[in-house]
Amino acid sequence: MSSVFNVFNISSSAMTAQSIRLNTVASNLANVDSIIDETGQPYRSKQVVFQAVPTTTDTTNVSRGVRVNQIVESAAPPRLVYEPNNPAANADGYVEYPNVNVVEEMTNMISSSRSYQSNVEVMNTAKNLVTSTLQIGQA
């Protein structure tokens, strides 16, 4: 029965991690045309880094969940757009826009959404198995 509860722990950790990933993607997409962020610096795309972590302290039966290890800024160069009349333009007339790739972000959003939904299905299946087991025990 403890293995069923491990399924809940693993799926819930994945759902939490994917939720953070979705929020990060949403932030990137919201700032696709932002010249500066809240600190006054050019906005940089952010990516989520996952890490596998044990879900139990039992060393004989190690199952692993996932957590967000960190959120890192992309090292990709900014997108330069020629806008000489823009007050944020440099001496050459270019404005540095965020290095957010909309296609990549939409792909991340779809991937994250599907992963989240898959983990919801895993939890529902585990719940149904536990419920069926309890009903068999009552009969």
pLDDT at 6 (0 to 100): 82
Mean pLDDT within 88-111? 94
pLDDT of residue 90: 92
- Average pLDDT over the chain, rounded to an integer: 88
Per-residue pLDDT tens for 12-62? 899 999 999 999 999 999 999 988 878 888 899 999 999 988 876 666 667
Cα-based angle 41, 111, 17 (whole degrees, multiple of 5): 65
User: In Å, how far are 9, 56, 121, 130, 137 from 133, measured between CA atoms?
Assistant: 19, 23, 18, 5, 6
Q: Quick check: 7 pLDDT over 90? A: no
Residue 1 pLDDT greater than 60, yes or no = no
pLDDT at 32: 93
Report the helix count and the strand count for the chain, using DSSP H and E. Answer: 2, 4
Residue 121: left (phi > 0), alpha (psi -120 to 50), or beta?
Answer: alpha
Structure tokens at 63: 């199952």
At residue 139, the pLDDT reads: 63
Supply the pLDDT for residue 133: 83
pTM of the model: 0.82
Which of the four pLDDT bands, split at 50, 70 and 90, describes residue 9?
confident
Percentage of residues in the chain with pLDDT exceeding 70?
A: 93
Both tokens assigned to 42: 């050019």
Residue 4 above 80 pLDDT? no
SS3 call for 105: helix
